[in-house]
Amino acid sequence: MCELLGMSANVPTDIHFSLSGLIPRGGETGPHKDGWGITFYEGIGVFNMLLSDGSYVLAYCSTNLHWITRRAPFGKARLVDSDVEIDFSQHTSPDDVVSVIATQPLTGNEQWQKIRPGEAVLFYYGERDASVF
């Protein structure tokens, strides 16, 4: 299985913080010794998917996908797999909305939501738009 990461936002957003949480999971802190990236996995029906056109992000969960939406008032977030913390209030404006989708929660001090297996969720410019099915 591979690790997934996606982001939907209403403003241009730096994915560096979230990506720095995903990269170590490609063998350093996670079980995926071959790294991370986009892949298709056949054999046991695992098909977690992120599809985006730049405005919308469609997330489909076969096994494990989680999401979080960050908006004002922004606070601090600490990565689970690394000793890294960021204060988003220092890097955002009051109108920013950012949703992050990942295989497992990247931070331990925030409330992530789990997408149910078989569910597809649509995000539009950072906002959760709908459960598609």
Beta-strand relationship, 120-124 and 127-131: antiparallel
Say which of 2, 15, 84, 122 is annotated catalytic: 2
Q: CA-to-CA distance for 74 and 92, rounded, in angstroms?
A: 8
Q: CA-to-CA distance for 94 and 82, rounded, in angstroms?
A: 27
For residue 40, what are its two tokens?
Answer: 């298709």
Amino acid at 43: G
| Residue 2 known to be catalytic | yes
The residues carrying an active-site annotation are 2
